[in-house]
Structure 1
Amino acid sequence: MPDPVSRALVVVAHPDDVDFGSAGTVAAWTAAGIAVSYCLVASGDAGGFDDTPRDAMAGLREDEQRAAAAELGVTDLTFLRWADGEVTPSLPLRRDISRVIRRVRPQRVLTQSPEYFWERLGVSHPDHRATGEAALAAVYPDARNPFAHPELLADEGLEAWTVPETWLMGCPPERVNRVVDVGPTLSAKFAALRAHRSQTAHRDDLETLIKGFLARNAERYASLATGGEEYVEAFQVVDTA
């Protein structure tokens, strides 16, 4: 695994995915001096719980994601604007994610697991799994292969880049091999989640629910922790060097 990591890229399907799944971890990374960038595949135009007009939802959710990212110290965001609810791990999507990888040149990519999490099916939204599959294909083999998506090099001057490690969130429990203590960064995580007002304003119990989930993680994956962690985010970390 690379040491030290100076740049990380988060690739997720929708605004708020990173904040529900890994905002505490991202906050810990930025606090450690890692420059984190986001790539959002869809803009969440099929989401929301209020009367916001559909044609205004995507712009609203992008603004919410920018505000949430700022709470964690992230300012570099790319919106690919694929149709919400229609994401597939297509070659064009792999190319688009490869473009961002080659631009950012991260030593670490965090994305969504392409596998089902049967215990909490909502984690495994089809867009999430498709994004994870496309992002993994972009990590290997596309972004590192100068002959894949040749227009990225020929027309845009984006040199091939190898990502040494990939973190998967929302993976099946048996895949978890890394946990991050997010007790010190809970306030940043909740600030980021509150920025997604169209998705979270209707939940008075949001912080209680999230704390409960993170506490269960800490209990379930105690063998992976250093000891004493009360709240953890859990991941499958894959060597992709």
Structure 2
Amino acid sequence: MVVTAHPDDVDFGAAGTVATWTAAGIEVSYCVCTSGEASGEAGRDAAEMARVREAEQRAAAEQVGVREVTFLGYADGAVEPSLALRRDIARVIRRVRPDRVLTWSPEINWSFIPTTHPDHRAVGAATFAAVYPDARNPHAFPELLADEGLEPWSVPELWLADGPVTLRNHAVDVTAYADKKLAALRSHVSQVGAAEGLEENIRAYLAGTASRYGMADGRLAEDFQVVDTG
């Protein structure tokens, strides 16, 4: 299960990795906390932008073999790691019952500030709390069990994207799935359009990541901080 703040976050940060999982027969679902309505030109209709971006994320998910996308409807640009958000993410975890959750780091990536959006960090913090302890604790949000019949669920593994480089400890070779990642990114027409240099920039970044982990020239990789949550 992948939890993100906005449509397109997963495609920039982890779509190659997701494609390796689905190719191996692993079922992946997305939980997107906002609908990305705080984007586009000034004066555009926010509700229409949300509709467009939700459709783009569903199309992008199809490119990497993901069929289920849940939108939580929080306000884009105003996400906080609130109890309500923790509850809503814990609800999805209990429903999906994943063996692994991938989300964004709650820490600042000082090496590349443009991706360190406050919403990303808020979602990371809320997801961490939903994984541990909320989803596994029958006394956390008891209404999930009492009213909705959602049994507690322990997620043994948490993957954090876009955290400080020094904390990342695992790389995934995505060389064979780079085209799928790029197709997913191109699905976000409202965000990338016909952006020149997108493929070259993405491939260069992935090549640099692979090089840091000692992979051979020509390999492409995405990296994460993988945490055993017991």
TM-score (ref. length: structure 1): 0.92
Q: Deviations over 1:71-116 (max 9, x none)?
A: 1111111100100000000000000000000000000000000000
Name 1:163's counterpart in structure 2.
155
* 1:40 equivalenced with 2:32 (yes/no): yes
What amino acid does structure 1 have at the position aligned with 2:219? E
1:198 to 190, 194, 203: 190
2:114 to 122, 126, 129: 122
* C-alpha distance in structure 1 between counterparts of 2:28 and 2:12, whole Å: 17
| Deviating more after overlay: 137-146 vs 213-222 | 213-222
Any idea what SS the aligned residue of 1:166 has?
strand
* 1:239 equivalenced with 2:219 (yes/no): no
What amino acid does structure 2 have at the position aligned with 1:237? V
* C-alpha distance in structure 2 between counterparts of 1:76 and 1:52, whole Å: 28
How far residue 229 of structure 1 moved from its aligned partner, in angstroms, is 6.1
* C-alpha distance in structure 2 between counterparts of 1:181 and 1:112, whole Å: 19
Q: Deviations over 1:107-139 (max 9, x none)?
A: 000000000001111221000000000000000
Name 1:11's counterpart in structure 2.
3
How far residue 228 of structure 1 moved from its aligned partner, in angstroms, is 5.5
Is the Cα–Cα contact under 8 Å of residues 49 and 198 in structure 1 kept in the other structure?
no
* 1:57 equivalenced with 2:57 (yes/no): no
Is the Cα–Cα contact under 8 Å of residues 49 and 199 in structure 1 kept in the other structure?
no
* 1:230 equivalenced with 2:219 (yes/no): yes
Is the Cα–Cα contact under 8 Å of residues 100 and 158 in structure 2 kept in the other structure?
yes
1:144 to 136, 145, 150: 136
Identity of aligned residues (%): 59
Q: Can you give the 5+ residue segments of structure 1 that lack an aligned partner in the other structure?
A: 1-8
* C-alpha distance in structure 2 between counterparts of 1:125 and 1:93, whole Å: 17
Aligned-CA RMSD value = 1.3
Name 2:63's counterpart in structure 1.
71
Q: Can you give the 5+ residue segments of structure 2 that lack an aligned partner in the other structure?
A: none
How far residue 54 of structure 1 moved from its aligned partner, in angstroms, is 2.6
Name 1:92's counterpart in structure 2.
84
How far residue 233 of structure 1 moved from its aligned partner, in angstroms, is 0.1
* 1:111 equivalenced with 2:80 (yes/no): no
Any idea what SS the aligned residue of 2:106 has?
coil
* C-alpha distance in structure 1 between counterparts of 2:14 and 2:180, whole Å: 11
What amino acid does structure 2 have at the position aligned with 1:103? R
Any idea what SS the aligned residue of 1:115 has?
coil
TM-score (ref. length: structure 2): 0.97
What amino acid does structure 2 have at the position aligned with 1:161? W
Any idea what SS the aligned residue of 1:77 has?
strand
Is the Cα–Cα contact under 8 Å of residues 123 and 170 in structure 1 kept in the other structure?
yes
What amino acid does structure 2 have at the position aligned with 1:37? S
Q: How many aligned residue pairs are there? A: 230
From the superposition, tell whether residues 151 and 26 of structure 1 become closer, same or farther in structure 2 (CA, over 3 Å): same
Any idea what SS the aligned residue of 1:143 has?
helix
Is the Cα–Cα contact under 8 Å of residues 209 and 222 in structure 2 kept in the other structure?
yes
Any idea what SS the aligned residue of 1:35 has?
coil
